[in-house]
Amino acid sequence: MSRKRNVFFTAVLSLLCSAATAAPEAGWRLDKNAKWETENGKKILTVSAPEAVSQSFQIQNIDMTPYIGKDILLKVDIRANDVKKPKNTMYHGVKFMLILRQNGRKQYFETRMTGLRYGTYNWTTSQIMLSVPENIAKNAELVVGLQNTSGTAAFRNFSIQEFKHYSPELPENFRCEYTGSAKSLPILRGVMSPQPLKLKKEDVTELGRWKANAMRYQLNVPRSLAGDPAKYRNWMERCLKNLDNLLPEFKKQNIYVILDMHTPPGGRYGKMQLLGTASDGKRVQTTPQSAFRMFFEDTYKDLYLACWKEIAERYKDQDIIVAYDLVNEPDQSMSMPKYDYLWLQEQAANTIRKIDPEKLLIVTCDEWAKARTFPKLRPLPLKNILYTFHFYQPGEYTHQGIADQFKQAKQGKINGYPGKYDGYWFDREQMRISMKPVRDFQLKYGAKIYVGEFSVIRFAKGGAQYLEDAISLFEEYGWNWTYHAFREWDYWSVEHSDDINDTVPTKQDTDRKKVLLRYSQKNKLGSDN
């Protein structure tokens, strides 16, 4: 595989089910709705779920010892027949999942290829990518089957492969380097913008009253336009023109602007896409909804780099625009890309550096910017790079009231904060544990860290305490941060009350807003770095 793809396979470490295995069905724990069959000389595992059965899980124990500390790819071919669409299409339906245990907790890794969750389709390859932590329990469980649905699914050709992400060449004992201009900046404490065309001068003025010193200005192109290069460029120009009109007010209020490539060219795949071939050489491989099209298609990769070149030329002399957030929430955890997410950010950084040698550049980690991916993240050999993650743990708490959890939230069935989630108690110390991979990266490389997004839905019990605990840790570690979001959607609004039925901002400061205001008061331009 060529270097520009930046994903390198080594060896197949283990075959769970193959022609070379004398008894591929050995070791599986099957329920009454599953059986092994032979089809065209291959063993296949068939799982059925009648209407009366909510789930049917088949389990294979795996010794993870050979994979500890490695990046692995699990693959299986799946065929489905009349699998009914489940209420939760993200996780339910056809199941392919790995369960690891770490520090007494279960960690779930599964395909997010929504298009494979239900329906009728022929043999199609599904895959799970993950970095195996150092301190996991020896035994793991591979799970296939059906959950909260009915129909039939078949599985064959299980395998585990080791692969290596793109890794920049670094000198021994590498430390991140920051110029005088970067070192003199204060800690950035602020918010993320609303949709850019909705941001007004009075909004910036109000943010100045909060004493915030940063706004993450999202270049958020609508999904319906992202796939058309001409329409993408037109929308981007509208976003930038609005920013140009607001720059005098940003300067007046001493609020730095972080330009966020929130929607890159092409956007994310809107549905299951068919790419390449499956293991039988006849069928097609899928890529998940979460994958950026620019990771797979040259048209969008080239436009991505061109856009950053134009932005760098446009704002190279605008010091109030302090940083470029190179890509928002990339994810290549479920599908092998043509262009690695880190490699592509490095190309953008190099493009910008030819024009602007000083401005801060923000590099994002994998899996929708999750902290747990920092162990596999390598720093770039460039000056003035910030490394970012987004913090919404536990998602069941911070995102309650959205999608499948909406009814539960209205009925008060979701735990508050602190509270028990996924079988463990989540509080400030658990937050610290969740952020530890980022802290370790910071200390190892001397890196500056930026928390690009964090939030809690406004009606979640204990929301103010959650924000207090999160920000206090950011402050303890000297991290920059921007709250998600300012006057974007009222569910995230600190200006709206905790009552879900309130549709206008409250006249009194909410407890959540008070937390932001208290920490924003620490902003004294140029004083704390």
Distance CA 391, CA 384 (A): 23
Structure tokens at 98: 């790995």
Which has the higher per-residue pLDDT, 480 or 75?
480
Q: Out of 132-136, 450-454, 477-481, pick the least confident.
A: 132-136
Q: Out of 2-16, 122-136, 308-322, pick the least confident.
A: 2-16
Using the predicted structure, report yes or no on whether residue 109 has a pLDDT greater than 70: yes
CATH number, domain containing residue 348:
3.20.20.80
Using the predicted structure, report yes or no on whether residue 403 has a pLDDT greater than 60: no
Residue numbers of the domain that contains 61: 3-164
Give a yes or no: residue 171 inside a domain: no
Distance CA 83, CA 119 (A): 5
Give a yes or no: residue 309 inside a domain: yes
Q: Mean pLDDT over residues 357-362, rounded?
A: 97
Looking at every residue in the chain, the average pLDDT score rounds to 88
CATH number, domain containing residue 68:
2.60.120.260
**pLDDT at site 37:** 95
**pLDDT at site 246:** 98
Same domain, yes or no, for 330 and 230? yes
List pLDDT tens digits, range 364-396. 999 899 998 998 899 999 999 999 999 999 998
Using the predicted structure, report yes or no on whether residue 272 has a pLDDT greater than 80: no
Residue 233 exposed, middle or buried by CB count within 10 Å (0-12, 13-18, 19+): middle
Using the predicted structure, report yes or no on whether residue 107 has a pLDDT greater than 60: yes
Same domain, yes or no, for 7 and 48? yes
Closest alpha carbon to 89 in 118, 128, 121: 118
Write the Ramachandran bin of 501: left for phi over 0, alpha for psi from -120 to 50, otherwise beta.
Answer: alpha
Give a yes or no: residue 453 inside a domain: yes
Q: Out of 55-69, 350-364, 450-464, 475-489, pick the least confident.
A: 55-69
Same domain, yes or no, for 230 and 159? no
List pLDDT tens digits, range 186-240. 999 999 999 999 999 999 999 999 999 999 999 999 989 999 999 999 999 999 9
Which has the higher per-residue pLDDT, 110 or 258?
258
Q: Mean pLDDT over residues 429-437, rounded?
A: 96
Distance CA 51, CA 351 (A): 56
Using the predicted structure, report yes or no on whether residue 452 has a pLDDT greater than 50: yes
Which has the higher per-residue pLDDT, 14 or 134?
134
Structure tokens at 440: 């370790």
List, in order, residues 6 or more apart from 8 with CB less than 8 Å away. 1, 163, 164
Question: How far from chain centre, in Å, is Cα 86?
Answer: 23
Same domain, yes or no, for 325 and 379? yes
Instruction: Give the end of a domain, one of 94, 129, 164.
Output: 164
Q: Mean pLDDT over residues 265-294, rounded?
A: 64
Which has the higher per-residue pLDDT, 23 or 79?
79
List pLDDT tens digits, range 19-53. 334 466 778 999 999 999 999 999 999 999 987 66
Give a yes or no: residue 288 inside a domain: yes
Look-up of token digits 């709206």: 496
* Overall domain count for the chain: 2
**pLDDT at site 106:** 85
Q: Mean pLDDT over residues 8-24, rounded?
A: 40
Which has the higher per-residue pLDDT, 14 or 462?
462
Which has the higher per-residue pLDDT, 7 or 145?
145
Give a yes or no: residue 341 inside a domain: yes
Partner residues linked to 451 by β-bridges: 389, 481
Which has the higher per-residue pLDDT, 274 or 44?
44
Same domain, yes or no, for 100 and 245? no
For the entire predicted model, the pTM comes to: 0.85
**pLDDT at site 27:** 85
Same domain, yes or no, for 229 and 340? yes
Using the predicted structure, report yes or no on whether residue 16 has a pLDDT greater than 50: no
